[in-house]
Structure 1
Amino acid sequence: MVTYPEAELPARLAAQVADLEAQAWPGAGAGHDPALAPEVVLLLDEEGTVLASLALLRKTIRHGGRTYRAAGLSAVVTRESARGRGHGGRLVAAARAALAADPAVDLVLFSCDRPLVPFYEAAGFTRLPGTVLVGGTPEQPLATDAPGFAKEVLADFPGADTGADAFAGARIALYPGLVDRLW
Structure 2
Amino acid sequence: MSADLRVVGFTEAHVPLRLAVQVADLEAQAWPGSTPGHDPALAPRTLLLVDGEGTVAAALSLLRKEIRLGGRTYRAAGLSSVVTRTAVRGQGLGGRLVAAARAELAADPAVDLALFSCDRPLAAFYEAAGFVPLPGTVLVGGTPEDPLATDAPGFDKAVMAAFFTGAPARDRAAFTGVRVPLHPGSIDRLW
Q: TM-score interval w.r.t. the shorter chain? A: over 0.9
- Unaligned 5+ runs, structure 2: 1-6
Q: Does 1:29 align with 2:35?
A: yes
Q: Report the equivalent of 2:60.
A: 54
Aligned residues of 1:40 and 1:55 also touching (Cα < 8 A): yes
- Unaligned 5+ runs, structure 1: none
Q: CA deviation at 1:159?
A: 2.5
Q: Report the equivalent of 1:74.
A: 80
CA distance in 2 between partners of 1:160 and 1:110 (Å):
20
Q: 1:63-109: per-residue Cα shift (whole Å, max 9, x none)? A: 01100000000000000001011100000000000000000000110
Of the three residues 151, 159, 164, the one matched with 2:157 is 151
For residue 15 of structure 2, what is the amino acid of its counterpart?
Answer: L
Q: Does 1:180 align with 2:181?
A: no
Q: Report the equivalent of 1:167.
A: 175
Q: 1:102-128: per-residue Cα shift (whole Å, max 9, x none)? A: 000001100000000000000000000
For residue 42 of structure 2, what is the amino acid of its counterpart?
Answer: L
SS in 1 for 2:82: strand
Q: CA deviation at 1:45?
A: 1.2
Q: CA deviation at 1:48?
A: 0.7
For residue 45 of structure 2, what is the amino acid of its counterpart?
Answer: E
- The sequence identity of aligned pairs, in percent, is 71
Aligned residues of 1:127 and 1:153 also touching (Cα < 8 A): yes
Q: CA deviation at 1:154?
A: 0.3
Q: CA deviation at 1:41?
A: 0.1
Runs of 4+ with deviation above 3 angstroms: none
Q: Report the equivalent of 1:90.
A: 96
Q: Does 1:17 align with 2:23?
A: yes
Of the three residues 37, 43, 50, the one matched with 1:44 is 50
Q: CA deviation at 1:131?
A: 0.2
Q: CA RMSD in A?
A: 0.7
Question: How many residues end up aligned between the 2 structures?
Answer: 183
Q: Report the equivalent of 2:138.
A: 132
Q: CA deviation at 1:160?
A: 5.2
SS in 1 for 2:160: strand
CA distance in 2 between partners of 1:15 and 1:160 (Å):
40
Q: CA deviation at 1:163?
A: 2.7
Q: Report the equivalent of 1:109.
A: 115
SS in 2 for 1:182: coil
CA distance in 1 between partners of 2:28 and 2:147 (Å):
24
